[in-house]
Structure 1
Amino acid sequence: MAKSVIVKNVTKRYKLHTKTSERLLDIILPTGYGEDFYALRNVSFEAEEGDVVGIVGINGSGKSTLSNIIAGIVPPTTGTVETKGETSLIAVQSGLNNQLTGRENIELKCLMLGFSKKQIRKLEPEIIEFADIGKFIDQPVKKYSSGMKSRLGFGISVTVDPDILVIDEALSVGDQTFADKCYDKMNEFKERGKTIFFISHSIGQMKKFCEKALWLEYGQVKDFGTIEEIMPNYEKFLKDFKAMSKKEQKKYREKMLKNQESELVRA
């Protein structure tokens, strides 16, 4: 199968600031200002057309940062991401303007994706039907529940028919009926050879839908392989991690980050 996504040595660094003056210094000074925080460090992997990749990891591992980089919403600090075709991110509030109505958001997002007014008018009924939020389609998005935002975002993203679909916790809200509708659509995409990245805290959802798993731990790739290879080890780790006290979890995190720093220095 042809490669659809190639992520090579991707690092994402942010500066931590405690006040506005530090932000200004960060902009003004050539080397920036503030403590470095690495959301991702030297992440590399490849996905093929038709792959369904589950991205797993405890909170703070960089899953959402990676999803935004794959979707082209934020750039990596260093490294490269090559994608084949159009990419669409589905998150609870991705790309939605809270001040606009649902219908206006459909037009805005489709215009940003390069669709003409005529094409949008043709797509709109299908998006509205998929989202199934009734009269709220003409209400400002700020009045929506998180489930309704997810419905609208999902409806827009799947209807515009992207080549690569990135789903970040979009099925963690809403009812099971809508989730089943989304799975049907994703399975359709899967059969058509599209690449899907799926982020969820639900182990059951991962096992049900994904074929491969990318395990991130504090910004680095811990493991990558088939779902059968990765998930038993990840589940064991998750069980052990949850059994730790808050103090032990913090100590573990500090130890892992220190090891990462040492590896970077040796490299």
Structure 2
Amino acid sequence: MSGVSCRRYRGPLKAAVLDWAGTVVDFGCQAPAATFVEAFAAEGVAISVAQARAPMGMAKRDHIKAITAMADVASAWQARHGRAIGEADIDRLYDAFLPLQLAAVRRHAQLIPGALEAVESMRAQGFAIGTTTGYPRAVMAVVAAEAEAQGYRPDCVIAAEDAPLGRPSPFPALAALARLGVYPVEAVVKIGDTVVDIEEGLNGGMWSVGITVTGNEVGLTEAEWQVLDERSRTQRRDEAAEKLRSAGAHYVVDSLGDAVRVLDAINRRLARGDRP
């Protein structure tokens, strides 16, 4: 009776798949959160920033649908419109959301401090750089152009329409790997600031690194973060880290700049035959 062989990849990381807002651009992931609040307000339904942020990272129509499924929001919609929300309503919200989002991303497209240097460090190690996002192509065209003007140009951009299903499915990240021509999945690290970023990487068999301080789970602008006292910073950071670890993140760091330091640790684990 023959045994079953188990092939293990023991080489180094080959690629990183990066999120955009809250990871590379837009400190605190400000552009989407405010826009969801505004789009619902136009329908006479008030949602909180926390509600707007909860499904962050999903494709934006899916994100809107997830907000409408929240009990408080569904109740408020029923009270305002006299009926439950339907698919046509979600389509209308999404259509209203898009021009608001286009305007918002132009205001919040600045690269996060340390992000460009982190990407350059990865490239110096031979990494291919892929990206995924919950933004549709029309929005990403603006974001990518603004980022390129600041020196950031990844090897590929997978927008919401470029995969059969969005996050938390692995298909956006896998689409990025297909475009990059990179395999196996164990040789890839997915880096992002939301729960669905982490799940996207895990569901694709990749290493997953979560980002706290610059991302959605802390949700502050750089200026707001800078004025916090150390106790408040620690509390915000720890709460975000716990959420991302609970989602399964292999590592959690403050920013993309800090993520570079865990790459060597992942490479050591790969050399031992560890898998994500």
Q: Same fold (TM over 0.5)?
A: no
- Higher relative helix content: 2
Q: Higher relative contact order at CA 8 Å, sep ≥6: structure 1 or structure 2? A: 2
Normalised to the residue count of structure 1, the TM-score between the two structures is 0.28
- Higher relative strand content: 1
